């Protein structure tokens, strides 16, 4: 098994998209990239902890590649938005790839460069590509939030 971590706005919809992929074995939502240890949802919502709402994806590289996960990441949010996705705003909603290895870093940078050169977006891509740091799981009620409520998505592209 391997691990990938992505931030692309509200983690509920992002998690649902990754959970549906064949080869993804588990997901969990949480907070990463900030300076406060053991943050709560309320802490992160102050926009003062530096954390992003993120999804940690456990996947089988023999069944789904990291590059495919990157494709899904790029396709399911607006990577040109700075600290915002849809109606949600604040640094916790930033777009970021938290890499776990030099190979993931290289793949993420290459995919971002390819997307930038494609001309698909008129604005520059704002996605940060940074090393994975401590991931703090969100409260239980946030885990598989949409699935628990029988909702297909809340994702705004």
The token pair that represents 132 in the structure block: 């994975």
State the catalytic residue, choosing from 2, 4, 7, 10.
10
Residue in the block written with tokens 């949600």: 88
Stated as kind and residue range, the H or E segment containing 54 is strand 52-59
Identify the DSSP state of 142: G
Q: Is 98 helix (H, G, I), strand (E, B) or coil?
A: strand
Cα dist from 142 to 5, 31, 101, 124, 156, whole Å: 16, 11, 27, 31, 18
DSSP 117-140: HHT--SSPP--EEEE---EEEPPG
Tell me, yes or no, if 154 is annotated catalytic.
no
User: Torsion over CA of 41, 42, 46 and 52, rounded to 10 degrees?
Assistant: 0
Catalytic residues: 10
């Amino acid at each position: 098994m391997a691990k990938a971590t992505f931030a692309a706005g509200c983690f509920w919809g992002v998690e649902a998209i990754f959970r549906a992929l064949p080869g993804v074995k588990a997901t969990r939502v949480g907070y990463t990239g900030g300076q406060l240890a053991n943050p709560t949802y309320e802490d992160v919502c102050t926009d003062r902890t530096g954390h992003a709402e993120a999804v940690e994806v456990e996947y089988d590289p023999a069944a789904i590649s990291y590059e495919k996960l990157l494709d899904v990441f790029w396709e399911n949010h607006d990577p040109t938005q700075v600290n915002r996705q849809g109606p949600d705003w604040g640094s916790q909603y930033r777009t970021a790839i938290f890499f776990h290895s030099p190979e993931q870093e290289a793949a993420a940078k290459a995919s971002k460069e390819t997307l930038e050169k494609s001309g698909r977006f008129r604005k520059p891509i704002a996605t940060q590509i940074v090393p994975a740091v401590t991931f703090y799981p969100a409260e239980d009620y946030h885990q598989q939030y949409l699935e628990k409520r029988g909702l297909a998505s809340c994702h705004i592209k």
